[in-house]
Amino acid sequence: MTGSPLTAAALLAAAVATIAIGAYGVRFSRTTSDFLVASRTVGSQWNAAAISGEYLSAASFLGVAGLIAKYGADALWYPVGFTAGYLGLLLFVAAPLRRSGAYTVPDFAEFRLGSTRLRKIAMIVVVVICVFYLVPQYQGAGLTLKTLLGTPVWLGPVAVGAIVLTNVVAGGMRSITFVQAFQYWLKLTAVAIPALALAGLFLADRGGDLGGPLPPTVQQDTTVAIDTDVVVQVTEPAGITVTGVLDGRRVDRAPIGAPGRHELDAGATLSLAAGAATPVVAGTPSSGREWIASGGGLGGEHPMYQVVSIMVATFLGTMGLPHVLVRFYTNPDGRAARRTALAVIALLALFYLFPTLLGVFARLYVPQLLITGTADAAVLLAPGSAIGGAAGQLLAALVAAGAIAAFLATSSGLLVSFAGALATDVLGGRVRDFRIAAVLGGVIPIPLALAASGGLELSRSVGLAFAVAASTLCPLLVLGIWWRGLTAVGAGCGLAVGGLLSGVAVTVAVAGGVDDDLAGGWPAVLIGYPAAVSVPLAFATMIVVSRVTRSRVPADVAQSFARMHLPENLGMGVERLPRS
Amino acid sequence: MSERPQRQRVVLAHRRGARMVRTRVEVQEQTPVGDALVRGLVRAQLGLALRLGAVLVLLVGAIPLLNALFPGLGAVTVFGVRLNWLVLAGLVYPLLYGVGWAYVHLAEQGERDFVGVVDAEP
């Protein structure tokens, strides 16, 4: 698809609105506290919208629908987990963390355990999680601009990086609060209207059978260009012809051959006649019956383990995401922090209804996406392909605006956390240091996003960032808040064990992963879904090492506990600020 | 010799204000009594969070388990939507919100009770 002017205009409008609202917010940003925690004055309604706006990243906006189109029922666990994470945060972290008066996660570590070395370790963990999370956002931006406008892949990361940097450098937290709240509503509109339009279309023509024995079929003659080498599963070869390298031989307009697996090299084109059954990427469910049933997993072996690990990573990972936590520090008090978390659950539940619908309709109306494996583009292409004419173009433009909002909001939030941690712990903690750190954080992920193979779907790479957060900051916060026995040594060892296990897994997975067939599939599935192993190990390490170093429990632990758990009206609260 | 002022009886009700400050100070200054009170609050709030967390894990964990044990269950359709999709894409969310709502209200109640104890008459 080449760029329609309407889509380009919508992308531009979303970007300009982001900068303009940010610029409006800059007028209120003066002090370091404004930059880091918006001077702790954000009410729970605004805050919930801002948190949701920030949280709904490329993974939610594009990735969830793509995964559902590709894998079916088991992909539904991702949005459930992304929402349930806020319940975990609400139950175990929200109010005490806010009452601790800390302004970043490393600051909490120092407040609770009184160790500047632990503070540095926590800072490194925060920086690593932010980078792991920023890379898929930038990748998504590259994919979107390429899909919609045909621009080179590098343009997306560079453009998103530049816009985000402008806002964050200029106004910090105070300014992005407005931007993110606006972006939640923009994203909701951008995903809800196309989803409802497609639902209307589906109910009107009842096109296609989702749960039938056949793969999805294309409705008109379709040509698909293969960009990277891919193995496809063909169920019904009638009507499929290939030009290019098929199974290692060069062919020209030849039929694809017998049902089964076929290799297509980059540069090949696949032609599907109207009504032909679409081949799907090998390892994904090809018939409607497999797709609609639960228990099939997300490719690879051991589907039950995959689901459990996704739930562990997302349920516990949200409370370890620095860009989410940093927003909780902006609540006026602990009670508001709880109400914010509850409101976020409602806003997310509302949102995720629509990507689910879009994923289902994408399988029905743009099944050709299932061939190349770039199912992440489903949300972008489904409305335009299913509904022709001006209405379809308008919907496509709206979706494009929502997608760009998704990258911008999440990247801004990540950058603020990255810069907050780096500026206060490595640099001097002044506003100028915050800006320098933000520039660093905005630029580093650009080459990484371009280098990453892109073989993982967006939701899965973001899910891996959750796994790192769940294996590091989650045990630090949960044990720090509820267990008096935690020591700085124990926390440091736990962070190291959890961080190394999950970090290595993520790096290997992003770099290409392990062969699915090796040793019964366990290595591949452990690398792809590390949380169910790394999280318990991180908790266990923290507890065991803390018991061994029991003599080093901080002397002021009673004081810290009183401050974290007593309601504010007893007058124990102290707001911490960077010393500078 | 002038007359002595008459003896006055101290009334119990007057002690109220003084006592209120004392218990607060005990909590704030971490005396053994205050520390015990804080420990009680932390234990109560943690117990609440763990109980609700367990409810959630049991209910949500039951979904894949039931699916594995009774593979036919997901194929049941309600209003034309398959049960596994209806549960995972719809019904789970009100459950999450409901558990969260219950926690917020019970936790705030717990805090109000605590402040009540601290500020109460002996």
Question: Side chain identity at A352, as an amino acid letter?
Answer: Y
Confidence bin at A535 (pLDDT 50/70/90)? very high
Q: How close, in Å, is residue A162 to chain B by CA atoms?
A: 36
DSSP for residue A63: I
**Tokens standing for residue A504:** 């290595």
DSSP conformational letter for A39: G
Q: What is the pLDDT of residue B33?
A: 77
Three-state SS letters, chain B: CCCCCCCCCCCHHHHHHHHHHHHHHHHHCCCHHHHHHHHHHHHHHHHHHHHHHHHHHHHHHHHHHHHHHCCCHHHCEECCEEHHHHHHHHHHHHHHHHHHHHHHHHHHHHHHHHHHHHHCCC
| Chain CA centroid to CA A240, Å | 35
**pLDDT on residue B90:** 84
DSSP string over A280-316 = EETTS--SHHHHHSTT--SSSS-HHHHHHHHHHHHHH
Residue of B38, B45, B108 lying closest to A562 (CB–CB): B38
pLDDT at position A41, please?
63
CB contact under 8 A, A308 and B64: yes
Task: Check the CA dihedral A456-A457-A461-A466 and report its sign.
Answer: negative
pLDDT, residue A373, reads 64
Q: CA distances (Å), A245 to each of A189, A264, A272, A461, in order?
A: 43, 6, 17, 30
How far apart, in whole angstroms, are the C-alpha atoms of residue A410 and residue A404? Answer: 10
Which carries the bigger pLDDT value, residue A414 or residue B49? B49
- Is the pLDDT at A39 greater than 60? The verdict is no
* Alpha helix segments (H runs only) across A57-115: 58, 64-71, 77-92, 94-99, 105-113
pLDDT at A87: 92
**Average pLDDT of every residue of chain A:** 80
Q: Angle CA(B13)–CA(B18)–CA(B21) in degrees, nearest 5?
A: 135
Contacts of B30 in chain A (CB under 8 A): 558-559, 562
> Of A68, A91, A206, A559, which to mutate for an interface test with B (greatest number of B Cβ within 10 Å)?
A91
Under DSSP, is residue A15 helix (H, G, I), strand (E, B) or coil? helix
Interface test with B, best of A112, A298, A570 (most B CBs within 10 A): A570
Pair of tokens at residue A83: 């929402």
pLDDT above 90 (res A537):
yes
Predicted local confidence at residue A2, as pLDDT: 44
CB-nearest partner of B99 from A87, A352, A559: A87
Residue A42 confidence class, pLDDT cut points 50, 70, 90 = low
A352/B108 touch (CB, cutoff 8 Å), yes or no: no
Complex ipTM over 0.95 = no
| A520 phi/psi in degrees, rounded to 5 | 70, 15
The tokens 């982001």 sit on which residue? A18
DSSP three-state, residue A505: helix
Is A295 close to B71, i.e. CB distance below 8 A?
A: yes
Residue pLDDT, tens place only, B48-81: 999 999 999 899 888 888 877 877 776 677 776 7
The beta-carbon neighbor of A562 closest among B30, B71, B100 is: B30
- The fold of the A5-206+311-453+558-570 domain, in CATH, is Sodium/glucose cotransporter (1.20.1730)
Best interface-test mutation with A: which of B97, B101, B112 has the largest number of A CBs within 10 A? B97
Give pLDDT, residue A376.
77
Instruction: Answer whether A402's CB lies under 8 Å from A62's CB.
Output: no
Weakest mean pLDDT among A54-63, A159-168, A279-288, A545-554: A279-288
Token pair in block for residue A407? 């990258």
Q: Do A570 and B28 touch (CB under 8 A)?
A: yes
Choose among A87, A356, A570: nearest Cβ to B118.
Answer: A570
* pLDDT band, very low/low/confident/very high, at A449 (cuts 50, 70, 90): confident
Mean pLDDT of A38-57: 77
Residues of B in contact with A341 (CB under 8 A): 100
Whether residue B96 contacts residue A349, with contact meaning beta carbons closer than 8 Å, is answered with yes
For residue A485, which residues of chain B lie inside 8 Å, CB to CB? Answer: none
In this structure, what token pair is assigned to residue B3?
Answer: 């007359």
Taking only the tens place, the pLDDT of each residue in A215-252 is: 677 777 777 777 777 777 777 777 778 877 777 778 87
Identify which of A277, A287, A135, A282 has the alpha carbon closest to the alpha carbon of residue A211: A287
Q: How many helices and strands, by DSSP H and E, does chain A display?
A: 25, 7
Least confident of A9-18, A134-143, A169-178, B33-42: A169-178
Query: pLDDT tens for residues A153-207?
Result: 788 788 888 888 877 777 656 666 777 788 888 889 988 988 888 888 887 776 5
Give the model's confidence band at B100: pLDDT under 50 very low, under 70 low, under 90 confident, else very high: very high
A482: which chain B residues are within 8 Å (Cβ-Cβ)? 42, 46
Distances (CA, A) of A61 to A55, A367, A388, A409, A559: 10, 19, 22, 12, 43
**B contact set with A (CB within 8 A):** 24, 27-28, 30, 34-35, 38-39, 41-42, 45-46, 49, 52-53, 56, 60, 64, 67-68, 71, 74-75, 82, 84-85, 88-90, 92-94, 96-97, 99-101, 103-104, 107-108, 111, 114-115, 118
Residue of B88, B105, B115 to mutate when probing chain A, most A C-beta within 10 A: B88
Residues paired with A217 in a beta bridge:
A277
User: What number of CA atoms fall less than 13 Å from residue A425's CA on the CB side?
Assistant: 27
Judged by DSSP in three states, A283 sits in coil
Percent of the residues in chain B that have a pLDDT greater than 70, as a whole number: 75
DSSP state of A4: P
Tokens representing B107 are 């936790």
Lookup: tokens for A152: 């080179």
Kindly indicate the confidence band of residue A483, based on its pLDDT and cuts at 50, 70 and 90.
Answer: very high
Residue A151 phi, psi dihedral angles, 5° rounding: -80, 160
Cβ–Cβ < 8 Å for A90, A480? no
A129 within 8 A of A322, measured Cβ to Cβ: yes
- Indicate the helix (H) or strand (E) that contains A204: helix A155-205
A349: nearest CA in chain B?
Answer: B93
Torsion of CA B60, B65, B66, B71, to 10 degrees: 130
Confidence at residue A413, expressed as pLDDT on a 0 to 100 scale: 81
Give long-range contacts, CB 8 A cutoff, 24+ apart: A183-186.
A183/A18, A183/A53, A183/A54, A183/A405, A183/A406, A183/A408, A183/A409, A184/A49, A184/A50, A184/A52, A184/A53, A184/A56, A184/A347, A184/A351, A184/A409, A185/A49, A185/A53, A186/A14, A186/A17, A186/A401, A186/A402, A186/A405
Of B67, B74, B104, Cβ closest to residue A342: B104
- Phi-psi region at A297: left, alpha or beta (left = phi > 0; alpha = psi -120 to 50): left
| Set of chain A residues whose Cβ sits within 8 Å of the Cβ of B77 | none
Q: Where are the domains of chain A?
A: 5-206+311-453+558-570, 222-277
Q: Which two tokens stand for residue A444?
A: 């580093």
Structure tokens at A374: 């770039």
